[in-house]
Amino acid sequence: MAFPFLRSVCALLLFALLCHSAAAQHEPHDQGCVHMPIVHSTNVGYFSSRRGVQLQLANRSDVAYYAQLSLGTPPQPVYVQLDTGSFELWVNPDCNAVSGADAAFCERAGQYDASRSSTVNPLGTTRTLRYGIGSANITYVTDTITLAGSTTALEAVQFGVATSSEDAFSGILGIGYGKGIATRYSNFVDQLSEQNATRVKAYTIALGSKDAQEGVIVFGGIDRSKFAGTLARLPIIPAESSPDLVPRFWIDMQSISITPPGGRARVYDGSTMPVFLDSGSTMTLLPPNLTNTIASDFGVQNVDPDGFIRIDCAFATMNGTLDFAFDGLTVKVPYKELIREVPSNPPACFLGITPSERFALLGDTFMRSAYIVFDLESDSVWMTQAANCGSTPAALNNVRDLSAVVGACGSTNSAVTGTSGTVIPGTGTQNGAAQSRPISATGGAASTSGTATSAQDRSQRTASRASSSRLEPRGIVWSLVAVMALRILSRV
């Protein structure tokens, strides 16, 4: 079967990436930032300024997004998974609890040694974090956190250090809600606000396409070169009204439809539901009946028991889309972005959707096609279709109304001015031209059926996140290292 092979190849690729390092070079940025090439990766940079925090995300294997933090004094670099669906930062997974390529990556991802830090403060409290697959027993400390490429350091940030873990080869950087909502302490993203690193409690994510070398997250700011048109405001559903009663980024989805190559859009029945946005999940999770109906449009009559939907790879070359409709907005996900290609002989392709009885979430297979602003001041998500026409990160003075902010890609109405990187709606000039990635239409594809996989393979694609965190950015453009991890992670 293909997945054990994929896991080994991918982890070895990440191992090689982590072994590679580049000397940092400072370059002026047109928004008052300092650009620095990212360590352990290529085509990824650090930006630091006094108005926002920017984190470059490198897409290496179409599986999961990782960021680099430096903990303690002197700084100790570690890689952690970036996760909008959880709320806490923890490090030091047990590398002895994983094997093979996972263990190799775990070792290279870095470990934090509290005894080597002069600024650590053990808190003496412990907790067990449980996930859909795996768990971590942690003990809390506070210590300094430095973001790569930035001279700014966050002091006395609370995070967890694992004493043991299962089925984990890296820690997690949860960037969901935090103190008073999902955690009892000020987590990493709360500290950005409390230590005046950012002005507003908001951040923006553009993961980039599967083929892109990098994506970007801007804490306390926005990058107009990552979208076209305007942003639509979608209220976040309160935890007490959400399906799992957890304070996540739940929003109302009106429908899902399919637009086949050369055909007309067709709306799926039963596709109106609350969903939450989760960068920690590779896959998009939908109810089984809806998943089966979508699968049938890709020639699959039966989804296998493990949730994999194997389809003809010819679909990846077709000019069709799966369309996700919200209030005032439709995000079109091209077949190419929705389909996961697994290196094997012959090649194997899988639909980036899997069934879930518990709840629905929109993972990376959706988020790569959307530009998303997570606004924690007004409990809103601002969203539009993603694009890519350069890089112009800028800080936000407020997020009360982003409807006047217009994307630079294909737009003549700019909304960013000033050397400080502040966003001023209705002024400025167009910055760059849209770089579209059209998918050429081809003929039909043969009918296929799902392929069963083992429980071990299922663990490769499934790792959920269950901690808590809230991002409260206010004003500096920062950057962290980020690379793609090499295994399929989907929340269940």
Inter-residue contact 112 to 159 (CB < 8 Å): no
What structural domains does the chain harbor?
2-218+462-485 (2.40.70.10), 222-455 (2.40.70.10)
Residue 108: predicted pLDDT: 83
| 83 belongs to the catalytic site | yes
Tens-level pLDDT at each residue, the chain (492 residues): 333 333 433 443 344 334 333 333 323 332 322 222 222 222 233 222 333 555 555 443 446 778 788 999 999 999 888 889 999 999 999 999 888 777 887 888 899 999 999 999 999 999 999 876 678 999 999 999 987 656 678 999 999 999 999 888 889 989 999 888 998 999 888 888 888 888 887 888 988 888 776 678 888 888 999 999 999 999 999 999 999 999 999 999 999 999 999 889 999 999 999 999 998 888 999 999 999 999 999 999 878 888 889 999 999 999 999 999 999 999 999 999 999 888 778 888 999 999 999 989 999 999 999 999 999 888 999 999 999 999 888 888 887 778 889 999 984 333 333 223 333 233 223 333 332 222 222 233 333 333 333 333 333 333 333 333 322 222 333 332 333 333 333 333
User: Which structure tokens are listed for 273?
Assistant: 């539901």
Residue 338: predicted pLDDT: 95
- The single residue of 62, 83, 143, 364 carrying the catalytic annotation is 83
Roughly what angle, to the nearest 10 degrees, separates helices 100-109 and 2-19?
A: 20
- Per DSSP, what are the bridge partners of residue 37? 45
| 269 belongs to the catalytic site | no
Residue 167: predicted pLDDT: 85
- The single residue of 102, 278, 364, 375 carrying the catalytic annotation is 278
